[in-house]
Every structure is written in structure tokens, then in C-alpha cells.
Amino acid sequence: MSNKAMLESCSFQWQNFAYGTGKRKMKVIDRAPELKGNDTAHVVQFYTKDDSLIEGLCQFVRNAMRDGESAVLIVSESHQRELTRKLRNCGKDLAKALDDDRCVVLNAAEALAECMDGGEPNNKKFVSVIGSIIDAAKAKARTKNVAVFGEMVAVLWAEKKYHAAIALEQFWNDLAKSRTFYLRCAYPASSFTDVQSEWYTAVCQQHSSVISDLAS
């Protein structure tokens, strides 16, 4: 799929899905919406450059720290070291957040392995593992909100386990019913190049908003 086709497919087919089921319409945006009060959001980001993703995550964490939240970043191995280095260089506030565990950076593949059973995501394990991580982060926050970034779904997607990735997205949505957090997922846009549009739409349907630089 071309970048333009990805956005058009997602936006058009989501509208049909949303109007047919009563779910809210997904928005294509260029930044994450603010988390207010008891609101939760599940945003997906399709990115083309690792540098821009990491730069955006630094701002994501800075906003969370400013608002008294904690941050949990479950990232791919290829991003983990650079993101941690970048966060420490973004200012004393972010470095302190890392030292105080108000901001934690975890390995997505390792976290995912703890949530799998027989090669498939297991919801009971997911709630136990990820729910505990979010609970620990909430205890460190000055508010009740936790800002979460996750690439576990991208790990599954890279392995072409599309059904498993969609199931994991659904687990996140179910977890949001019992815990207050803002979730931002990310996929490299290149991972959808040879994927049928139906799969792209299926990913979009699990989210409330899209952050994308595909149109640029």
C-alpha cells in the first residue's frame, strides 16, 4: 500500500465501521490529544523515521512529567538504548524521572514473551503482567494517570502474526476499562507496504486516533 492509500483506507473504512456500530469516529491527527481527568485514549502512530519517533517520545514523556503523570515505554530493542540515552539528554527532569522510576523503559519483546501462551497472546497473562506494570507506575505518579507507549504489537506485526497483533490491541482496550491510562502504539509504516488494506483497517479500528507523517 502507498502512504496515501493507507490513510485513505483507514479513514474511509473506519467511518463505515464507526457509523455501523455506534463507535466513535477515528481522527487522523499530527499530535497526541491531551489526557484529561478520567479520559482514556488509544492512539496509533505510523512512523517513517526512527529519529522522529524517538524525538516525539521525548516530548510525550516531558508532557507526562509536567502533568504529574508517570510514563511506561515498552519499546523495541532497536529503540530502547537510543530512547533511554535521548531521555537522559532531554533535561534533568527526565533524567530524574528515569532514576525515580516515574518513567520506565522496557523491552517490548521481553514483555510480550511474558504475555504469550503457545505462540498466542494470553489475556490473563497480559492483565497480570501489563496491569501490574501500570499499577506500579500509577503509584509513582502525582496524579492517577499513566502515559503508556507500546511496541509489542509491532513486534508481532513484524513476525506477520497479524491476528495476534489485533488480539493484543483488543487486550489493551479491555485493560483500559479497569485502569486509567493513555496509550500510544506505534508501527513502522514500512511494515504495511505488502499488507492487504483490510489488515491496516483492522489496526485502525482498535484505536481512537491516528498520528501519522504518511501524508507529508
Which residue in this structure is represented by grid cell 484529561? 36
Cβ-contact 192, 44 below 8 angstroms: no
* Residues contacting residue 168 through CB under 8 Å, at least 6 positions apart: 112, 115, 121, 126, 152, 153, 156
Q: What is the pLDDT of residues 41-72, one digit of tens each?
A: 899 999 999 999 999 999 999 999 999 999 99
* pLDDT at residue 62, rounded to an integer: 93
Q: What is the pLDDT of residues 112-164, one digit of tens each?
A: 999 999 999 999 999 999 999 999 999 999 988 999 999 999 999 999 999 99
**Distance (Å, rounded) from C-alpha 24 to C-alpha 20?**
10
pTM for the full predicted model: 0.82
Beta strands in the chain (DSSP E): 27-29, 41-47, 70-75, 103-107, 116-117, 120-121, 146-150, 181-188, 209-212
Q: What is the pLDDT of residues 9-38, one digit of tens each?
A: 454 343 333 333 334 444 444 444 444 443
Domains and CATH numbers, the chain: 46-212 (3.40.50)
